Amino acid sequence: MAHIPAVTKAVIPAAGLGTRFLPATKAVPKEMLPIIDTPTIQLVVEEAVAAGLTDVLMITARGKTAIEDHFDRNLDLEEVLTAKGDEAGLASITASNRMAAMHFVRQGKALGLGHAVLCAAEHVGDEPFAVLLGDDFIDARDPLLKRMLEVRQQYGGSIVALMEVDPEQVSAYGVATIKPTDADDVVAVTDLVEKPAVNEAPSNWIVVGRYVCDPAIFDVLRDTPPGRGGEIQLTDALRTLARTDRAYGANRVNGVNGANGAAADGGGVHGVLFRGRRYDTGKKLEYLQTLIQFACERPDVAPEFVPWLRSYLDSLSPAPSR
């Protein structure tokens, strides 16, 4: 079996405008909105590190320096907390700058997720890499990315994460055409369609914000014209790879063959069927739900918060009729 290079790099696009969260995101990056006391993007980096990735490249933009500051040391705070003997506080502020080798590159204009990923080409080079969107995260108890990396190791090519939704919801997402494989939680993706009409959707399995990409994606992205909304879409490039189970472009040679021969020279896309917990904090309602859920589970706040929440909800309910 040909050797498939292991994945060590994570790319986290965080350069979007965050228009759904205005006015909060006028000056504060959407990815910095906290889940109680931890910015969403820190949870995303923790997810990458838990999957064994050691090198993180963030795609940022003008107005996003808070993200770079968060992953840098803050010597003034360190000094104050050390003087106070606040070890827990100190550990909480140094965790983010010790998690992985952090790198940053700017996307000059928000030209779409595909364009943001293309900004990583120089840093990534000719290696497979993971992409984790900066405004959603997967529950640490449901290690999706680790499974995706195993699947990439087995099949080569690129790997997407798929979640099942009700049929009437498909038109808001990228939807996959899928074929079963020998593994219950892995499918071959033969096509992808962005926001199909309900009666034209090829399945109920939508693409969510975790990917393992073959470096062949960069050549495809360079050739991908702007799609929906004038943006270069990652889904469009993945569709090209899904339809291409052999080499993409003439300049890629010596690619790898997956164990099942399913992917060669960078083409081919497989999907991991994910049935765990995902928090899409780029949407107001899901952000709120995530906050409540985490508050109910965190040992430092739950004992006071849960009884308060119960009595608050009771106060909203109409009095039971006699």
- Does residue 59 touch ligand UTP according to CB under 6 A? yes
Backbone angles phi, psi at 285, to 5 degrees: -65, -45
Classified as helix, coil or strand, 178 is: strand
Which residues ranging from 273 to 302 are in contact with ligand UTP (CB under 6 A)? 282
Identify which of residues 107 and 290 has a Cβ nearer to ligand UTP in the complex.
107
Q: Rounded to an integer, what distance in angstroms lies between the CA atom of residue 228 and that of residue 82?
A: 51
DSSP E strand stretches across 54-128: 55-60, 101-106
- Does residue 203 touch ligand UTP according to CB under 6 A? no
Backbone angles phi, psi at 298, to 5 degrees: -80, 125
Minimum CB distance to ligand UTP, residue 234 (Å):
9
Using the contact rule CB under 6 A, the part of the chain among 16-24, 246-254, 258-266, 293-301 near ligand UTP is 16-24
- Which residues neighbour 57 within 8 Å (Cβ) at sequence distance 6 or greater? 9, 10, 11, 12, 103, 104, 105, 120, 123, 124
Residue among 48, 118, 124, 133 that touches ligand UTP (CB under 6 A): 133
Minimum CB distance to ligand UTP, residue 20 (Å):
3
Identify which of residues 15 and 237 has a Cβ nearer to ligand UTP in the complex.
15
- Does residue 174 touch ligand UTP according to CB under 6 A? no
- Does residue 20 touch ligand UTP according to CB under 6 A? yes
Q: Rounded to an integer, what distance in angstroms lies between the CA atom of residue 229 and that of residue 208?
A: 19
Residue among 32, 57, 130, 135 that touches ligand UTP (CB under 6 A): 135
Nearest-CB residue for ligand UTP: 16
DSSP E strand stretches across 157-302: 158-164, 174-180, 186-194, 205-213, 269-273, 278-280
Minimum CB distance to ligand UTP, residue 32 (Å):
11
Q: Rounded to an integer, what distance in angstroms lies between the CA atom of residue 13 and that of residue 5?
A: 23
CB atoms within 10 A of CB 143: 15
46, 70 Cβ separation under 8 angstroms: no
- Does residue 110 touch ligand UTP according to CB under 6 A? yes
- Does residue 206 touch ligand UTP according to CB under 6 A? no
Minimum CB distance to ligand UTP, residue 149 (Å):
21
- Does residue 237 touch ligand UTP according to CB under 6 A? no
Q: What angle do CA 109, 111, 117 make, to 5 degrees?
A: 100
- Does residue 156 touch ligand UTP according to CB under 6 A? no
Backbone angles phi, psi at 207, to 5 degrees: -85, 125
Using the contact rule CB under 6 A, the part of the chain among 84-92, 105-113, 200-208, 300-308 near ligand UTP is 105-113
- Does residue 266 touch ligand UTP according to CB under 6 A? no
Query: Which residues lie near ligand UTP (CB under 6 A)?
Result: 13-20, 30-31, 59, 107, 110-113, 115-116, 133-135, 282
